[in-house]
């Protein structure tokens, strides 16, 4: 597994990657792609949190989903997939919805990086506050639904986002809490398509957002 990696990275860089301790919250389209990337890049310590199960609606975009795991918990299935890719990996899967009632059960300060890929605005705000409190690096995903162009994805500060209703909502909530510090996010500058039937998505943008997040973490570390 290391052979191709060592053609582009040094042993020192790869060892840094292997020694990372990563938390991923949410294993849908964005989180599943980020998880897959980090596993295949050699990260050996990953904790994943998701209380959801796979269903047929996930098959069009979520890398971790397939017909054989419909109805199975996403965190548990991610663990099985990771071991099939790298038997030496240590994945701690937590089948839970992260919120104020249980976040203190997660030792946030043990992690080198937190990847917030969840859909809950309250959980996102909570992770931003906790990571700031413990000085843990965080990157969080903004809206990827109703978009078609992955080339419009960027990584920036939440206070500099445009055309992202989720980021706008979060900025408002953060201001109410008096939060002024920088928050690294992956966001799309593409205007989301309007839909009367709810939020839709294809594989392109969510997965690329997850790849962006994983790439940002790895490049930051090395």
Name all domains of the chain by residue range, CATH numbers in brackets: 2-221 (3.40.50.720)
The mean predicted confidence, pLDDT, of the chain is 95
Instruction: Give the model confidence (pLDDT) of 57-79 as tens digits.
Output: 999 999 999 999 999 999 999 99
Contact 154, 190 (CB under 8 A): no
Q: Rounded to the nearest 10 degrees, what angle do helices 204-221 and 11-18 cross at?
A: 110
Compute CA distances 139 → 25, 117, 118, whole Å.
11, 9, 12
Q: Is it the case that residue 168 has pLDDT exceeding 90?
A: yes
Residue 196 pLDDT? 73
Residue 33 pLDDT? 98
Q: Is it the case that residue 114 has pLDDT exceeding 90?
A: yes
CA atoms within 13 A on the CB side of 194: 1
Instruction: Give the model confidence (pLDDT) of 32-51 as tens digits.
Output: 999 999 999 999 999 999 99
Sign of the dihedral defined by the CA atoms of residues 217, 64, 131, 122, in that order: positive
Report the pLDDT averaged over residues 102-117. 96
Contact 213, 34 (CB under 8 A): yes
Lowest mean pLDDT among 16-20, 107-111, 130-134, 178-182: 178-182
Q: Give the whole-angstrom CA distance, residue 132 versus residue 40.
A: 28
In the numeric block, the tokens 């599943």 are attached to: 32
Residue 136 pLDDT? 98
Contact 23, 39 (CB under 8 A): no
Residue 5 pLDDT? 93
Residue 112 pLDDT? 98
Instruction: Give the model confidence (pLDDT) of 88-99 as tens digits.
Output: 999 999 999 999
Q: Express as a percent the part of the chain with pLDDT over 90.
A: 93
Q: Nearest CA to 77 among 104, 53, 47, 107? A: 53
Query: 195 falls in which pLDDT band (50, 70, 90)?
Result: confident
Report the pLDDT averaged over residues 163-185. 95
């Amino acid at each position: 597994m290391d052979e191709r990696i060592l053609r582009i990275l040094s042993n020192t860089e790869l060892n840094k990657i292997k020694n990372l301790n990563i938390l991923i919250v949410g294993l849908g389209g964005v989180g599943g792609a980020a998880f897959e990337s980090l596993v295949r890049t050699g990260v050996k310590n990953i904790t994943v949190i998701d209380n959801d199960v796979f269903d047929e609606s996930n098959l069009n975009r979520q890398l971790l989903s397939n017909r054989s795991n419909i109805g199975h918990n996403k965190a548990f299935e991610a663990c099985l997939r990771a071991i099939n890719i790298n038997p030496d990996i240590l994945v701690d899967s937590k089948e839970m919805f992260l919120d104020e009632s249980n976040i203190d059960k997660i030792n946030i300060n043990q992690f080198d990086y937190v990847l917030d890929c969840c859909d809950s605005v309250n959980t996102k705000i909570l992770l931003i506050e906790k990571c700031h409190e413990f000085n843990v690096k965080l990157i969080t995903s903004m809206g990827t639904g109703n978009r078609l162009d992955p080339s419009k994805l960027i990584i920036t500060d939440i206070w500099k986002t445009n055309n992202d209703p989720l980021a706008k909502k979060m900025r408002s909530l953060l201001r109410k809490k008096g939060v002024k510090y920088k928050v690294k996010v992956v966001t799309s500058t593409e205007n989301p398509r309007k839909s009367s039937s709810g939020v839709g998505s294809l594989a392109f943008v969510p997965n690329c957002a997850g790849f962006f997040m994983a790439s940002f973490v790895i490049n930051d570390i090395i």
